[in-house]
Amino acid sequence: MKVFQYVNIVTCDQDFHVYLDGILAVKESQIVYVGQENQEILKQADQIIDYQGAWIIPGLVNCHTHSAMTGLRGIRDDSNLHEWLEDYIWPAEAEFTPEMTTKAVKEALTEMLQSGTTTFNDMYNPNGVDIAEIYEAVKVSKMRCYFSPTLFSSDVESTAETIARTRAIIETIKGYQDPDFKVMVAPHSPYSCSRDLLEASLELAKEENIPLHIHVAETQEESGIILKRYGKRPLAFLDELGYLDHKAIFAHGVELNEAEITRLADSQVAIAHNPISNLKLASGIAPVVQLQQAGVAVGIATDSVASNNNLDMFEEGRTAALLQKMKNGDASQFPIETALKALTIEGAKVLGMADEIGSLEVGKQADFLVIQPQGKIHLQPQENMLSHLVYAVKSSDVNDVYIAGEQVVKDGQVLTVNL
């Protein structure tokens, strides 16, 4: 048993316990004690790590990204979503090779680990991806990953062919029998998939008993396209297809009205909120406070670096908090506790992993990050830890990261990815 002592722990558990000058005990991959100093626990320790007043919070959960696009950072800025996708992103992705995407994924793993992210939900354009290589890179990194091969409608492949290809990927991933490398079915969006492909995607997800992962209600333009094509707004259209009755992650959810939020509350859908990408592509601000009040789970996400342009979850969580205050005209909205939970336990709920990760509690996996505030001028005065964790901290402040009790980042250096 390893015990981390002289630590200030933000558990992000149900009651949001905070332990000042506490200890965290880890046996193999699990947390066996979290709380104030306890001599019994210290006596049982095989190893005691003195963190000298450092701050510990759960590993961050990035609910929606595209790690294979990391090589596209800076490809095209200052464009709206549809122009950006059609004229820049999709043509670039068509040129992807397995060498490129594996390299990009390794870079993304490095950037995510360095900034305290331990679990991510990844969506992949089908082209140029060697799933075995990516699995190997993720496995070696120790990160927990949901991998979603993306389905598009195109002139070069029929719905049946797309489904068959996706089914093969799912079988490959299931074959790994790795509980930390999971799979979802990811039709790209209501506008880029035919009704036929959307229906077949849902069928596949049901057959395989895995979640759906799809971009929904990202822009007004999307609503216009779907309204014109099907006579309904995106949410109603997907509801008609049955998407709201299957476990699903809808990325974005910017363009949602009150009735749609009410409908989501009574569905199996969770939202991955991408505040920076939604600003950068001029999409808007998701109604996160209203979604949360209605009872919809909302996690934080970076989207890809092509529309962000980094994988910094601290910046993302801070931006989410700041935007909700402004949007609602009320600075008390999305307070510190909400922001810290959105980065951790709420993200775990969105991914259906809240029994294992997302908070520091006995029995859960020991996924956490360590920030040493000493000597960092922007984290003074140190007493206001919770405030600083949301509003002042930078991803470069993350000193150490642990996943399942194993150290994966030491003094800002990633130990588990070979670039």
Q: Are 304 and 64 in contact (CB under 8 A)?
A: no
Q: Are 417 and 106 in contact (CB under 8 A)?
A: yes
Burial of 40 (0-12, 13-18, 19+ CB in 10 A): exposed
From residue 323 to residue 362, what is the string marking binding to a copy of itself with x (rule CB under 8 A)? Answer: x-xx-xxxxxx-xx--------------------------
- Report DSSP state, residue 365: B
Dist CA 405 CA 414 (whole Å): 15
Confirm or reject binding of residue 95 to a copy of itself (CB under 8 A): no
Q: Which residues contact 126 (CB under 8 A, 6 or more apart)?
A: 149, 150, 151, 152, 165, 166
C-alpha atoms less than 13 angstroms from C-alpha of 60 in its C-beta half-sphere = 31
Residues touching a copy of itself, count (CB under 8 A): 58
Nearer to a copy of itself, 346 or 356 (CB): 346
CB of 286 to a copy of itself, least distance (A): 11
Out of 36, 295, 396, 410, name the contact with a copy of itself by CB under 8 A: 396
CB of 393 to a copy of itself, least distance (A): 9
Confirm or reject binding of residue 229 to a copy of itself (CB under 8 A): no
CA geometry: angle 284, 118, 50, nearest 5 deg: 125
Dist CA 220 CA 217 (whole Å): 8
Could you tell me the two tokens for 22? 């506490």
Nearer to a copy of itself, 5 or 333 (CB): 333
Q: Are 69 and 25 in contact (CB under 8 A)?
A: no
From residue 96 to residue 115, what is the string marking binding to a copy of itself with x (rule CB under 8 A)? Answer: -----------x--xx--x-
CB of 60 to a copy of itself, least distance (A): 15
* Cβ neighbour number for residue 56 with a 10 Å cutoff: 22
Nearer to a copy of itself, 81 or 216 (CB): 81
Nearer to a copy of itself, 231 or 375 (CB): 375
Dist CA 341 CA 361 (whole Å): 14
Out of 40, 155, 383, 411, name the contact with a copy of itself by CB under 8 A: 383
Confirm or reject binding of residue 92 to a copy of itself (CB under 8 A): no
Q: Which stretch binds a copy of itself (CB under 8 A): 13-21, 145-153, 198-206, 374-382?
A: 374-382
CB of 88 to a copy of itself, least distance (A): 12
Q: Which residues bind a copy of itself (CB under 8 A)?
A: 71, 73-75, 77-81, 84, 107, 110-111, 114, 276, 278-285, 305, 308-312, 315, 319, 322-323, 325-326, 328-333, 335-336, 377-378, 380-381, 383-384, 387-388, 390-392, 394-396, 419
